[in-house]
Amino acid sequence: MKLATYKDGSRDGQLVVVSRDLGTAHYATGIASKLQQVLDDWNFLSPQLQDLYDQLNAGRARHAFPFDPHQCMAPLPRAYQWADGSAYINHVELVRKARNSEVPASFYTDPLMYQGGSDDFIGPCDDVVVPSEAMGIDFEAEIAVVTGDVKMGASPEQALDGIRLVMLANDVSLRNLIPAELAKGFGFFQAKPATAFSPVAVTLDELGDAWDHGRLNLVVQSTWNGRKVGMCDAGPEMTFHFGQLIAHVAKTRNVRAGSIIGSGTVSNKGVERNGRTEWPRGYSCIAEKRCIETIQDGQPSTEFMKFGDTIRIEVKGPDGVSIFGAIDQAIAAPADA
Amino acid sequence: MKLATYKDGSRDGQLVVVSRDLGTAHYATGIASKLQQVLDDWNFLSPQLQDLYDQLNAGRARHAFPFDPHQCMAPLPRAYQWADGSAYINHVELVRKARNSEVPASFYTDPLMYQGGSDDFIGPCDDVVVPSEAMGIDFEAEIAVVTGDVKMGASPEQALDGIRLVMLANDVSLRNLIPAELAKGFGFFQAKPATAFSPVAVTLDELGDAWDHGRLNLVVQSTWNGRKVGMCDAGPEMTFHFGQLIAHVAKTRNVRAGSIIGSGTVSNKGVERNGRTEWPRGYSCIAEKRCIETIQDGQPSTEFMKFGDTIRIEVKGPDGVSIFGAIDQAIAAPADA
């Protein structure tokens, strides 16, 4: 099934069930008002939502209305955990290669993850509000999962069973703040403003064969200012699958229902053509494009995003239909700036 | 007023109002069932809780019962944000000095903070469950505040107005995991298991003159296996006050109601005695004691905590009465280990 959260002026919005084709929606009133409630009590509530979803898809839901992604908050407008991986090692390799440093051997066996802020997510069509263009505004197209409870010490296989929902994320990054921030040694903080998520979060059965043991074998399309810049395959090159990422989080603590785990920027290896490496699948964040330029030409030429720029992130199924709806945002200055 | 959350089998527990002397408590039923609810709607709900608190202190609350900290979850059993500072630069100075490195100049003007996991806090008397003693188990006695909404770009002064509650934290750390984890560059993750908080969270008026513009001028007592090891003054040596820490978080994003911001390990400077530096106020984490030993003797001699060890963290007012109740925990192996 497909679930979304509609804006209603409250902090957590109103849970809606969305039809498979994203055409219609129905309030989940009478079952649950918030998505976190459903995650807290999944086994009891999700079958009831599934019934409503089946009725909606059959055109038999009584109070269905046209689904409008602009009315959506993030599926979880705020969450108790947002832990983001860097699971596509190719991305790390490019970043390191551009600055002539090696990828530590441990990075191929031990996932790189950071703990993100989760108190103020933004909706799929909300503006990305950033204090200044000078901060180096970048998008990051990612896959994210929402978990149930996963016990401390869970294996990657056990952790896979804890995945409840899949969605897309735009993990906005302020690139020019990163070097100084990481140099302090405690990880990202100001360099990671509010994250956006796709209009709907979907259960694994919606993904069919494309869900392959913790990896999503589909293409993430990133369109920047109307130009398609990324058609990256999210599947085979994901070095650590979601079960491994969740197990990493659960190594020394319990992971509780409603935790969101991100894949990090989807990234594909380059291919050799006429003695030169090219990246025909493009990029899922501008920083990676700039690394490619640095490797190819000695310096980056693509600038980061400006106020007014737009970014659209979407994944289509084998039938060409959008699975999660599109993240479709504009970059904006603060209202009082 | 003083607020706590009683265990009731649910994820968020049941909100109770606790008398000033921590002797009695009263369910907040009819006002709010969860602390997060109150933080979400502070101006409407807190006066009602204050009325109940006044009645309770006057012995006029009808269904009062003896307050038992062992029934407490963390005041917020899970939160949408836990951002912990390292606001006592003396702690950083000791750590650096012990490994013969300098504190970067920026550390005196730009707060060091990390984003922590907030989906699974533990209660003040709950066991600290850790997979292995070999991980280097340490306590960290800290002050923490809970915020209301603080807008992106808020100044430190504006951020001070956003503080709703104050409590104590035991930011448990797994010291032997830290070097490898920080070397990866993305900050703490597995080195920070579940954090514990004091039985009650209190409003600023409970602190009287001891609350001094974002600093708490009181002594944090840390008792390890029954031996008082720390009597550290939390006030004057806090390099960055809580308004500064919150403003740091709010630099590039909104801080939403129910965010918890920590001070980092409370730490006091050494004093010169007979040509030798001594630390008569002791320590608020074992790592700091080991740094002191390294500086004094060339190597650490105090070992980290073992299964069965206990740690008690408490702050008393000028009248000698416990303000927040005591964090009083034992270290334990996982039940199935």
pLDDT tens figures, A91-126: 999 989 888 889 999 999 999 999 999 999 999 999
| Residues in B touching A177 (Cβ below 8 Å) | 252
Question: How many interface pairs between A and B have CB atoms less than 8 angstroms apart?
Answer: 152
* Contact yes or no for B327/B223 (Cβ under 8 A): no
Find the CB nearest B253 among A186, A194, A258.
A194
Tokens of A85: 């991986």
- Chosen from A106, A173, A252 to mutate, greatest number of chain B CBs within 10 A: A252
B152 touches chain A (CB under 8 A): yes
Question: What 3-state class would DSSP assign to B247?
Answer: helix
Cβ distance A81 to B112 less than 8 Å, yes or no, reads no
Nearest-by-CA chain A residue for B107: A184
Nearest-by-CA chain B residue for A103: B184
Both B6 and B87 in a single domain?
no
Nearest-by-CA chain B residue for A181: B112
Task: Write down which residue in A70, A87, A122 finishes a domain.
Answer: A70
The pTM for the full model equals 0.98
Both A280 and A164 in a single domain?
yes
Both B145 and B235 in a single domain?
yes
Distance from the A83 Cα atom to the nearest Cα atom in chain B, whole angstroms: 8
Q: Which long-range contacts (CB under 8 A, 24 or more apart) does A286-289 make?
A: A286/A138, A286/A139, A286/A175, A286/A224, A287/A95, A287/A138, A287/A173, A287/A175, A288/A91, A288/A94, A288/A95, A289/A229
* Contact yes or no for B157/A155 (Cβ under 8 A): no
Q: Would you say residue B251 lies in a domain? A: yes
B158 touches chain A (CB under 8 A): no
- Into how many domains does chain A fold? 2
A175 touches chain B (CB under 8 A): no
Both A46 and A134 in a single domain?
no
Query: For residue A94, what is the domain's CATH number?
Result: 3.90.850.10
Cβ distance A190 to B129 less than 8 Å, yes or no, reads no
Both B65 and B82 in a single domain?
no
Nearest-by-CA chain A residue for B253: A193
Residue closest to B25 by CA, chosen among B15, B33, B34, B35? B15
Residue closest to B114 by CA, chosen among B40, B195, B220? B195
Report the pLDDT value the prediction gives residue B336, as an integer from 0 to 100: 72
Cβ distance A186 to B80 less than 8 Å, yes or no, reads no
Task: Write down which residue in A19, A51, A70 finishes a domain.
Answer: A70
Find the CB nearest A40 among B11, B182, B190.
B11
| Residues in A touching B106 (Cβ below 8 Å) | 180, 184
Q: Would you say residue A234 lies in a domain? A: yes
The mean pLDDT of A299-305, rounded to a whole number, is 97
CA distances from B317 to A175, B20, B67, B232, B320 (A): 46, 11, 19, 14, 5
What residues contact B263, with CB distance under 8 A and at least 6 apart? B84, B85, B87, B88, B142, B143, B144, B234, B238, B242, B245
CA distances from A2 to A46, A324, A328 (A): 11, 8, 18
Residue closest to A283 by CA, chosen among A273, A270, A299? A270
Find the CB nearest B81 among A118, A183, A334.
A118
Task: Write down which residue in B18, B46, B70 finishes a domain.
Answer: B70
Cβ distance B252 to A153 less than 8 Å, yes or no, reads no
B228 touches chain A (CB under 8 A): no
Q: Would you say residue A126 lies in a domain? A: yes
Question: What 3-state class would DSSP assign to A292?
Answer: helix
Q: Would you say residue B337 lies in a domain? A: no
A162 touches chain B (CB under 8 A): no
B178 touches chain A (CB under 8 A): no
Q: How far apart are CA B151 and CA B255, in angstroms?
A: 6
Both B160 and B240 in a single domain?
yes
Nearest-by-CA chain A residue for B247: A190
Both B60 and B204 in a single domain?
no
pLDDT band at residue A217 using 50, 70 and 90 as cut-offs: very high
Report the pLDDT value the prediction gives residue B319, as an integer from 0 to 100: 93
- Chosen from A119, A135, A255, A256 to mutate, greatest number of chain B CBs within 10 A: A119
Cβ distance B193 to A252 less than 8 Å, yes or no, reads yes
Q: How far apart are CA B108 and CA B89, in angstroms?
A: 7
Both B150 and B170 in a single domain?
yes
* Contact yes or no for A87/A239 (Cβ under 8 A): yes
Asked whether the predicted pLDDT for residue A74 surpasses 60, the reply is: yes
β-pairing verdict for A276-278 and A271-273: antiparallel
DSSP states of B59-114 as a string? T--TT-EE--GGGEE-SSSS-SEEEEE---HHHHHHHHHHTT-PPPGGGGTS--EE
- Name the residue range of residue A10's domain: 2-70
Distance from the B191 Cα atom to the nearest Cα atom in chain A, whole angstroms: 8
Q: Would you say residue A265 lies in a domain? A: yes
Q: Would you say residue A337 lies in a domain? A: no
Cβ distance B248 to A190 less than 8 Å, yes or no, reads yes
* Contact yes or no for B60/B28 (Cβ under 8 A): no
DSSP code, position A103: P
Give the HSE-up count for residue A55: Cα atoms under 13 Å, Cβ half-sphere.
16
| Residues in A touching B11 (Cβ below 8 Å) | 40, 256-257
Low-confidence ranges of chain B (pLDDT < 70): 337
Distance from the B10 Cα atom to the nearest Cα atom in chain A, whole angstroms: 10
Report the pLDDT value the prediction gives residue B99, as an integer from 0 to 100: 85
Residue closest to B253 by CA, chosen among A174, A217, A315, A149? A174
Q: Would you say residue B272 lies in a domain? A: yes
Both A127 and A65 in a single domain?
no
Distance from the B190 Cα atom to the nearest Cα atom in chain A, whole angstroms: 6
Report the pLDDT value the prediction gives residue B337, as an integer from 0 to 100: 55
Residue closest to A150 by CA, chosen among A211, A83, A89? A83
Nearest-by-CA chain B residue for A173: B252
The mean pLDDT of A153-172, rounded to a whole number, is 98
β-pairing verdict for A173-174 and B137-138: unpaired
Tokens of A179: 């070097």
* ipTM, two decimals: 0.97
**Contact map slice: A 39-98 vs B, CB within 8 A:** 40, 78-81, 83, 86
Q: Beta-carbon neighbour count of residue B226 at 10 Å? A: 7
A99 touches chain B (CB under 8 A): no
What residues contact B82, with CB distance under 8 A and at least 6 apart? B115, B116, B117, B118, B121, B195, B259, B260, B262
Both A107 and A149 in a single domain?
yes
Both B322 and B194 in a single domain?
yes
**Contact map slice: B 243-282 vs A, CB within 8 A:** 248-249, 251-259
| Residues in B touching A188 (Cβ below 8 Å) | 115, 186-187
Nearest-by-CA chain A residue for B181: A112
Both B300 and B200 in a single domain?
yes
CA distances from B26 to A196, B3, B22, B38, B50 (A): 40, 10, 11, 16, 12
Q: Would you say residue A102 lies in a domain? A: yes
Q: How far apart are CA A132 and CA A135, in angstroms?
A: 6
pLDDT band at residue A276 using 50, 70 and 90 as cut-offs: confident
Express each pLDDT in B41-69 by its tens digit. Answer: 999 999 999 999 999 999 999 999 999 99
pLDDT band at residue A275 using 50, 70 and 90 as cut-offs: confident
| Residues in A touching B180 (Cβ below 8 Å) | 106
Report the pLDDT value the prediction gives residue A337, as an integer from 0 to 100: 55
Cβ distance B80 to A80 less than 8 Å, yes or no, reads yes
Tokens of B282: 């002791």
Tokens of B176: 């032997």
**Contact map slice: A 189-218 vs B, CB within 8 A:** 189-194
Mean of per-residue pLDDT scores for chain A: 96
